């Protein structure tokens, strides 16, 4: 039977999860969520909301989004169709890796997901047209506690693989770290 294997990243609490696919002539089967595995890596994680996004154009960037306390959320993200470069940025106060980022390619044919713990910002860039993403959230969306980082903030220095083609006005309007987010990592 398929299992879910957790691989730690250089950012504590951020995990790449790999589904061990089982296949035959009909196709393949993969486990996407396993309570026992999640309890080992994120004991407080539970799913309260599931969302899906669809992006039509290669090069599109969504994010970097996060929720502030008291509405911090963790999320498990998976690419259902196409390919993305998925990024998580550590925003945890006192963390040795605060403002460090981790990027990983997720794809419909790959077996990787990313567990993004509370206190991280998340975003991705589409590497193909017609991308679908699935998000499992540990807290309900709270618009009064949402925040964002600029995808192109020079202080973060995220190495997006493609020139951005589509970025929402909202995502372009986030302040640069030096301007209005002095709270980060303090």
- 112-116 sheet: strands from edge to edge: 4-8, 15-19, 112-116, 75-81, 131-137, 49-55
Q: Where are the alpha helices (DSSP H) in the chain?
A: 35-41, 169-172, 177-180
From the candidates 46, 100, 135, 145, which is the catalytic residue?
Answer: 135
DSSP 176: P
What is residue 18's three-state secondary structure?
A: strand
Following DSSP, what letter does each residue of 34-72 receive, concatenated?
-HHHHHHH-TT----EEEEEEE-STT-EEEEEEE-TTS-
Is 135 a residue of the active site?
A: yes
* Catalytic choice (46, 65, 100, 145): 65
**Cβ neighbours of residue 50 under 8 Å, at least 6 residues apart?**
134, 135, 136, 137
Q: Which residues are catalytic?
A: 65, 135
């Amino acid at each position: 039977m398929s299992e879910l294997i957790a691989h730690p990243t250089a950012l504590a609490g951020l995990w790449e999860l790999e589904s061990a696919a089982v296949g035959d002539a009909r196709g393949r089967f993969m486990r996407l969520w396993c309570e026992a595995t999640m309890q080992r890596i994120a004991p407080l994680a539970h799913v309260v909301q599931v969302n899906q996004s669809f992006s039509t154009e290669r090069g599109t960037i969504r994010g970097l989004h996060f929720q502030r306390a008291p509405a911090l959320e963790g999320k498990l993200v998976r690419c259902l169709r196409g390919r993305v470069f998925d990024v998580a940025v550590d925003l945890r106060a006192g963390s040795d890796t605060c403002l460090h980022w981790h990027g990983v390619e997720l794809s419909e044919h790959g077996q990787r997901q990313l567990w993004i713990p509370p206190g991280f910002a998340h975003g991705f860039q589409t590497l193909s047209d017609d991308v679908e993403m699935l998000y499992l959230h540990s807290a309900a969306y709270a618009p009064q506690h949402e925040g964002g980082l600029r995808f192109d903030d020079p202080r973060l220095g995220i190495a997006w693989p493609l020139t951005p083609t589509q970025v929402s006005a909202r995502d372009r309007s986030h302040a640069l770290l030096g301007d209005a987010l002095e709270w980060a990592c303090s």
